[in-house]
Amino acid sequence: MNLGSLGQDNIARFGEYEKIYFEGKWYTNVEMERESNRLGNALKSLGVQRGDRVAIQMPNSPVVLWSFPAIYKIGAVAVPMNPLLRPDQASYIFQNSGAKVAITSPEFAPWVVSAQKQAPDLKHIICTEKDDVAGTIGYQRLISGQPDMLDITETDYDDLAALIYTAGTTGPSKGVMHTHLSLYLTATGCADFMLRYRSISLEARSSMFDVRTHQVSETHQIVNGASRLALSLLVLPVSHSFGLGISLMDTLGANRSIVMKWFNPEEALKLIHNFRVTDFAGVPAMYIMMLNHPDFDKYDLTSLQQCGCGAAPLPPEIGKEWKRRTGIDIIEGWGMTETAALTCGNIPNRPPKYGSIGVCMIKADTMKIFDDNDRELPPNHTGELVVKGPTLMKGYWNMPGETAAALRNGWLHTGDVGYTDEEGYFYVTDRKKDIIIRGGENVSPSEVEEVLLEIPQIADAGVIGIPDSIYGEEIKAYCVLKKDETIGEEAIIAYCKQKLPGFKVPKQVKIIDMLPKNLLGKLLRAELRKMDREKSA
């Protein structure tokens, strides 16, 4: 099987229709398929072969959406990357993955060109929109003259389709290996879950008068299937497994999508209002920013039929406020890059259990709560959330030790701590890892600390997440200065801005005399968090 065939399946099933809208223009599913074929042929002309890695480092756009199937079709492996990664961070992924080609946009092309200097395997950089960016190949010039027909490479179900890198929250960023089968079963499993609980029906009623009996007979037929009226607002970055999963689900059905390059709360509200959007999936920070927008109530959101949320815990008060002001429940879910993101969710068309991540959505998967000895726990007992099934990653790229530690006896140990209730709903109460989740983005405290320690005046640093009303968590840095050294908090933040993506930059910096550590000198983050809470009280 090959995921690249889903575009052909979509056309065969639904015919030609306007599929995505981006910055003033509609693109049909047939146009997207042809563009995907042209790009696939162009990649082959650059020497990309089966198994080669092709990186995509740019914001959402039509090119991104047809780049994935183009890569799949020729048997290559897609490597989606956060466009905000700095050159040194991007170069690590280019090096580690051995990417042969990178596709990017003009605003990020200079960063990719800079990163290429440290990635000898990266031979070509394709730049969209402009043909004159130094060090790159212009996208339009590259695909010009390429045929719009492409023979799809036959791949095994266990062949790699995507290599998705984690945020590096427990060490170096890891390449999560997903196969054609794992991504396909995730998308079809979620689509099946939605259809089961939110079936779209075509109803036909007819009446017939029998002149002989003078009786009226009525017939009533219902046909369940995909809705041609569904319209999604795609704001999630496709560089994330969450966004990638949503876009695959849209290809399986007849969904049309309004695509946003970057999320902006007012623009999102305008698009929902103007286009009568029916489906919206986002992270909690997006809902909070929209609710807090001063013009929220002037937009008509009554077209919304389904709202989903994931990537970070949804505060119950936000779910309730959204329901109060729109009449629509937010269906919270849970997933990880290692589980292809779409794994667990509250059941549509039922009142959500606020604070719960829902039930396992994928029939082929199993979720349980284990104790420290890998024994299943009964309801209302706290342990580690584990997952088993064919949608799991194949492993971490070139990291057999880390793969063995995460996948034990077929079970993925997620690092999330929680419990189930009597109805099988899961709740996440804590994390084993020190990961900070800011607006759905995973941030490694150690990565931020390493940058802080580059500052000559700083002797030691500790980073924690603190509660934030918009992003769920914000980053706070505690710094110990070297003897007789001085530096202002603003200067520390300014240095971080030069070295880190915006979402990893500390919002607050506090200078202290000493960090809490154990006898071996290990930073005690729990104590640091406790100290912060006590000082904030």
Q: Over the stretch 206-251, which tens digit does the pLDDT of each residue have?
A: 777 777 777 777 765 544 455 677 899 999 999 888 888 888 888 8
End-to-end CA distance of the chain: 57
Find the farthest-apart pair of alpha carbons in the chain and give their distance in angstroms, rounded.
107
Beta bridge partners of 244: none
Express each pLDDT in 261-272 by its tens digit: 999 999 999 999
What is the SS3 assignment for 319? Answer: helix
Angle at 255 between CA 253 and CA 257, to 5 degrees: 145
- What is the CA 286 to chain-centroid distance, rounded? 14
Count of alpha carbons within 13 Å of 532, Cβ hemisphere only? 22
Q: Give 185-199+223-431's CATH code, choosing from 3.40.50.12780, 1.10.3720.10, 3.30.450.20, 3.10.110.10.
A: 3.40.50.12780
Q: What 3-state DSSP class applies to 309?
A: strand
Helices (H), 136-234: 139-143, 180-197
Q: Which of 41-50, 74-83, 326-335, 523-532 has the lowest mean pLDDT?
A: 523-532
Around 10, how many Cα atoms within 13 Å sit in the side-chain half-sphere? Answer: 27
Of 311 and 501, the structure prediction assigns the larger pLDDT to 501
Q: Do domains 3-155 and 436-536 have the same CATH topology?
A: no
- CA 164, 139, 107, 498 dihedral sign is positive
Average pLDDT over residues 23-43: 97
Question: In terms of Cα–Cα distance, which of 289, 232, 287 is closest to 260?
Answer: 232
Question: What is the predicted pLDDT for the residue at 201?
Answer: 55
Cα torsion 240, 245, 248, 254 to 10°: value is: -120
Question: Tens digit of pLDDT for each residue in 62-111?
Answer: 999 999 999 999 999 999 999 988 898 899 999 999 999 999 999 999 99
- The pLDDT score that the predictor gives to residue 312 is 78
Binned at pLDDT 50, 70 and 90, residue 522 comes out as low
pTM: 0.82
Distances (CA, A) of 404 to 395, 410, 411, 455: 8, 10, 10, 37
Contact by Cβ (8 Å): 59, 261: yes
Residue 259 has pLDDT above 60, yes or no: yes
Mind listing the pLDDT tens digit for each residue in 507-520? 999 999 998 876 55
The larger pLDDT score, comparing residue 526 to residue 57, is at 57
| Predicted pLDDT at 222 | 47
pLDDT > 70: percent of the chain: 95
pLDDT (tens digit per residue) in 443-474:
888 789 889 989 999 988 999 999 998 899 99
Q: Which range, 40-54, 231-245, 343-357, 441-455, is most confident?
A: 40-54
pLDDT bin (cut points 50, 70, 90) of residue 311 is confident
Three-state DSSP string of 114-153: HHHCCCCCCCEEEECCCCCCCCCEEHHHHHCCCCCCCCCC
Given this structure, which CATH class describes domain 436-536? alpha beta
- CA 120, CA 100: separation in Å to the nearest integer? 9
pLDDT band at 168 (very low <50, low <70, confident <90, very high): low
pLDDT value at 305 more than 60: yes
Is 134:114 a contact under the CB 8 Å cutoff?
no
Burial class (CB in 10 A: 0-12, 13-18, 19+), 261: middle
CA 387 to centroid of chain Cα atoms: 18
Question: How many angstroms separate the CA atoms of 75 and 50, rounded?
Answer: 4
- Tell me the DSSP string of 50-96: TT-EEEEES-S-HHHHHHHHHHHHTT-EEEE--TT--HHHHHHHHHH
Q: How far apart are CA 257 and CA 250, in angstroms?
A: 8
Q: Quick one: residue 509, left, alpha or beta (phi over 0 = left, psi -120 to 50 = alpha)?
A: beta
Mean pLDDT value of segment 500-505: 92
Q: Does domain 3-155 have CATH number 3.30.470.20?
A: no
pLDDT higher than 90, residue 427: yes
Residue 202 reports pLDDT greater than 90: no
**Binning pLDDT at 50, 70 and 90, where does residue 255 land?**
confident
**Tell me, what DSSP letter sits at residue 313?**
P
Strand partners, 476: 464, 508
pLDDT value for 225: 55
Alpha carbons 397 and 4: distance in angstroms, whole number: 22
Contact 502, 493 (CB under 8 A): no
Instruction: Provide the residue ranges of all domains of the chain, joining segments of one domain with +.
Output: 3-155, 185-199+223-431, 436-536
Residue whose entry in the numeric block shows the structure tokens 């984690």:
166
Does residue 199 have a pLDDT over 60?
A: no
pLDDT of 373 over the 50 cut: yes
* CA angle (435 as vertex; 83, 116 as ends), nearest 5: 30
Tell me the C-alpha distance between 28 and 26, whole Å.
Answer: 7
Report the pLDDT averaged over residues 480-505.
Answer: 93
